[in-house]
Structure 1
Amino acid sequence: MKLILATWLLATLVVASSLVHTTIAESSYCENKCGERCSKAGVQDRCLKYCGICCEECQCVPSGTYGNKEECPCYRDKLNSKGKPKCP
């Protein structure tokens, strides 16, 4: 019984650590890409917030500071509650 519990605990720790590493890598990716995307935005904090949300959901950010949304259809197609583009 102890062997089964120890094996289960070890497996859980391995899976959890790989998920944390992936999340940190994705977060860093989004921070870098959104930093580039929002570098010329008039309201940077808002741009970074929405770009970060879109990046986490879509796993991509279009290149450049404006346009190029055809590179990432998920990012392009996200709409806010008013039917306007959500992602900067």
Structure 2
Amino acid sequence: MKLVCATFLVLVCLVLSSSVLETTMAGSPSCDSKCGVRCSKAGYKERCLKYCGICCEKCHCVPSGTYGNKDECPCYRDLKNSKGDPKCP
């Protein structure tokens, strides 16, 4: 009986953890559309979308246009990479 309960508990934990991971790994639709506009003219579009998505999830905003306008979103503007360069496109 203990083995059945333990197995059931492990299965429930696996199902719950997979659904949580799936939710957190998926970008929000708002960020996806805003970053699509922001990165529409980027030379390295996939990389732009990746970092824009990271910044959008953290800051909850993306500056308008395809370049500049970072003063509209100070959090987005102020995020830096490990080298001290701007992280967000």
Q: TM-score, normalised by structure 1?
A: 0.71
Aligned residues: 66
Q: Give the TM-score of the pair, scaled to structure 2.
A: 0.70
Once the 2 structures are TM-superposed, how far is the Cα of residue 72 of structure 1 from its aligned partner? 0.0
Identity of aligned residues (%): 77
- Provide the secondary structure at the position in 1 that maps to 2:28: helix
Partner of 1:33: 34
Equivalence for 1:53: 54
1:39 Cα offset (Å): 0.1
5+ residue gaps, structure 2: 1-19
Q: Give distance in 1, aligned partners of 2:31 and 2:37.
A: 10
Shift of the alpha carbon at 1:55?
A: 0.1
Q: Per-residue CA shift, 1:21-77, capped at 9, x if unaligned?
A: xx7xx7000000000000000000000000000000000000000000000000000
- What code does the residue aligned with 2:61 have? C
User: How far apart, CA to CA, are the structure 1 residues paired with 2:73 and 2:30?
Assistant: 15
For residues 1-88 of structure 1, the aligned pairs below 5 Å read 27-88=28-89
Which runs of 5 or more residues in structure 1 are unaligned?
1-19
Moved >3 Å (runs of 4+) = none
